[in-house]
Structure formats: structure tokens, C-alpha cells
Amino acid sequence: MPANLPPEYYEAEKRLKQAASPQEKIAALEELISTVPKHKGTDKLRADLRRRLSQLREEAIRKKKSGKGDLYAVEKQGAAQIALAGFANSGKSSILKTLTNANPVIADYPMSTVTPLSGMMPFEDIQFQLVDLPPIGNESTDGWVSGILRNANVLMLVVDLSEDPDIQTELLIEQLLKWKILPLKKDESREEKEGIMYKPVILAANKSDLPGAEKEMGRMKQRYESLYHVVGISTTKKEGIEELRRAIFENSYIIRVYSKEPGKEPDMDTPFTLPTGSAVIDLAEMIHKDFLKNLKYACIWGSAKFDGQRVQKDYVLHDRDVVEFHIK
């Protein structure tokens, strides 16, 4: 019986041949398997592909146990890590491609994302790491997906405005609660209690260019805007993209601070990023342990009452402050 393989199979097969690392090969092979139709003509092919996948996963596990790598770990980079969560075909991969330098598989069939894929998003003078993940609700991936969500700094819940976005949002939040991840509401304390992880949330309502999306967007804002940051976007028409970038920065709860040496101009090209509420002493510790030990005082340009104001170690810094350290 002929296999009658679809065009997506041959595209995925090409990506598999180009894959180099075990992680890339596993991602490509999982994608390839998802494109194979299930009938008697493909039984042998699917069995062969599953056997190859099993071998690759065993190889990855051996490397993990030997300390040579973790297949599903995503090391944090940039100012903060933002994990994208949503159901199949909500447009997570399109958002990643639009905002970053990553080149994910974008397809109109489910499970085109099978392993975590990250990219760096520039925002003014800093960068954020965005991580695309497989769709929520897949038993084979939910275990490690929940781990990445718990580790991320911010969660971006991506919903499709053409497919009952309010129901999607309810289901996503319900799943997060099952994993003991509590979406942080506006102006809510970030304190963690009894193993529950509190995470800032952005609701990215995608496909705002489709018919009926405006009405659904109105409902989303009416229901959720008082709780979370809601942004309507279209990756096709590039609508709402800059607003989404700004939302990522604001929900990361970080500040940018610049340093300067006495008598010299500040370095405005490479800011330090610290959690909101950080003080002068926190920046000193980040720069060098000797600064922390020998710091006499600092001078501040920006949030101070006047430029160059002398402040103590416990002075709370604000975004875009310039700090000049005076050491003993």
C-alpha cells in the first residue's frame, strides 16, 4: 500500500538531514513523525522513525547523565526570560520569529514546535530572551514545559482571537494553577508561598487582522485588562508589535542603570539590569565584591533631586539612573 506522504513530510525530512546536534535531530524527527498519516501503508515507516527517535533520546539522556547537556533546559540569557505558552496554532512561533532572530518552524498543522526554541528580542538598549514551547495539553511534553514555565521570569499566554480567546485564556490559566503557577495580577505582591510560583503574565491576543477579531478583542479587554496586560497583535500585518515589546519590558520588573567613573562620561551603551526596587548597594555588589566592601557613597543622575546628588548605599535606584561610585 502506498504511503501517500504529504508535502510537509518532505519539508520536515529536509530539515532532519540538515540537523546537526542531537537536540536539533530530535526536534526535526518529532516534527517528521507528526506529518506521517496513520494508515497501513505507513506502519513500517512510522515504526522506523519511532525507533530512530528512541535511539536519539537515549543518546541525549546519556549526555545529560554525564553532565554534557540537558535536552530541555533553556539557560537564561539577556535581561529576562519570557516563556510563550498557548494551544496549537495560536501563533507562538510567529511571534517568536517576528520579535527575535530565531527561525522556528511555522506551519498550519499542530505540534510544529516540539522542543524549546529561544531567540533574543532587542528593546532599546537591552535584550530579552523569548522561549517558544510545544502547545499546552500534550502529555508527552507538558512535564518539561511546566518546568520551563516555572523557571521563566515572565509568561506570555498566546491566544487565537479567531477561536474563542476567552475560553483559551481560562483553560491556560486553569492549567497553570494545576502546575502551581499563579498568574500575578496587576499590583499584586510577588511573594512565593507554599511551593506556588507567582509569575507576571502578558495576554498576547494574536490574529487581530482576522474578521471578528475586533469584537473578541473588546471582550478580552473587558474581562482581563484590569487583571493582566492584554495586547492585541497581528504577526501578519505587524500590528501591536511595539506595544508587545513594551509590555515585555514593563512586566519583567527590571530597571536599567548606567555607571560612570568620577570625572568621566557615563557608559550609556551597556546598562546593568537589576530587579525593580534595587538599591545602590545591590549594583555595587553586582559590579565587584570590592565595591561592596569599600563603597563610601554614590552620586546619582536621573531620579535624584538634582544631578550628581550624593546618596547612601540604601538609595533605591530607578530606570535609567546613572551611578557614580566613590570608593574608600
CATH class of 254-327: alpha beta
Q: C-alpha cell of 206?
A: 494574536
State the CB neighbour count (10 A cutoff) for residue 156. Answer: 28
Which conformational region is residue 219 in: left (phi greater than 0), alpha (psi within -120 to 50 degrees), or beta?
alpha
The residue with cell 536519539 is: 56
Of the candidates 215, 209, 236, the one whose C-alpha atom is nearest the C-alpha of residue 164 is 215
Distance CA(286)–CA(298), nearest Å, equals 15
Sort 231 into a burial class: Cβ within 10 Å, 0-12 / 13-18 / 19+. buried
Q: Which helix (H) or strand (E) holds 276?
A: none
pTM of structure: 0.76
State the CB neighbour count (10 A cutoff) for residue 122. Answer: 13
Predicted local distance difference test score (pLDDT) of residue 106? 59
Per-residue 3-state assignment (H helix, E strand, C coil) for 50-80? HHHHHHHHHHHHHHHHCCCCCCCCCCCCECC
The residue with cell 490559566 is: 173
Domain 81-251 annotated CATH 3.40.50.880: no
Distance CA(52)–CA(294), nearest Å, equals 59
Of the candidates 221, 8, 214, the one whose C-alpha atom is nearest the C-alpha of residue 109 is 8
Predicted local distance difference test score (pLDDT) of residue 52? 85
Domain assignments of the chain as residue spans, ordered by start:
7-65, 81-251, 254-327
Predicted local distance difference test score (pLDDT) of residue 108? 54
Confirm if 154 and 83 have CB atoms less than 8 A apart. Answer: yes
Confirm if 144 and 64 have CB atoms less than 8 A apart. Answer: no
Distance CA(116)–CA(130), nearest Å, equals 10
Distance CA(142)–CA(110), nearest Å, equals 15
Distance CA(181)–CA(183), nearest Å, equals 7
Q: Among the residues of the chain, which ranges form H helices?
A: 7-18, 22-35, 43-65, 92-99, 139-151, 165-178, 213-224, 241-251, 280-287, 289-294
Written as tens digits, the pLDDT of the chain (328 aa) is: 456 788 888 887 887 777 666 666 777 777 788 788 887 788 888 888 888 877 877 776 666 555 544 556 788 889 999 999 999 889 998 999 999 877 766 555 454 456 788 899 999 999 999 999 988 887 767 778 888 998 899 999 999 999 999 999 999 999 999 888 999 988 776 665 556 788 999 999 999 999 999 999 999 999 999 999 999 999 999 999 999 999 999 999 999 999 988 888 988 888 999 999 999 999 988 887 777 778 888 999 999 999 999 998 899 999 999 999 988 7
Predicted local distance difference test score (pLDDT) of residue 145? 86
Helix (H, G, I), strand (E, B) or coil at 31: helix
7 Cβ partners below 8 Å, 6+ apart?
none
Q: Which helix (H) or strand (E) holds 181?
A: strand 181-184
